[in-house]
Amino acid sequence: MPINSEAEYRSKKDQVLQKFKKQFVETNYLNDPMFHSIIELLIRGADPYEIIEMLIDDKKEMIKRVKEFMELHGQPILFPKEK
């Protein structure tokens, strides 16, 4: 679905963002590239199921890379505490 104007884009963006919790959007929209990309895909009419598949594939790839890293370095990974 092509977006024909800036006003149409802003309207669609507001519709998509309103489906998420306000605090989640405030915390992640400008700070999380993955979330921002997902919002842009949804604005442009992407199939949500394709997005879910993309997220699952991405998670699997991340787990694979963490395991490879652990095998190479043999030390536990220390994650920073959440704020």
| Longest distance between any two alpha carbons in the chain, whole Å | 53
Q: What is the pLDDT of residue 77?
A: 66
Residue 1 has pLDDT above 70, yes or no: no
Q: What is the pLDDT of residue 45?
A: 92
Number of compact structural domains in the chain: 1
Residue 50 has pLDDT above 70, yes or no: yes
- State the residue range of the domain holding 38: 6-73
Average pLDDT, the chain: 90
Answer yes or no: is 78 within a domain. Answer: no
Integer CA distances (angstroms), 64 to 5, 17, 59, 71, in order: 42, 31, 9, 11
What is the tens place of the pLDDT at every residue in 33-42?
A: 999 999 999 9
Instruction: Taking residues 69-73, report their average pLDDT.
Output: 82
Answer yes or no: is 1 within a domain. Answer: no
Answer yes or no: is 61 within a domain. Answer: yes
Instruction: Taking residues 19-34, report their average pLDDT.
Output: 94
Distance between CA atoms of residues 24 and 45, nearest Å: 21
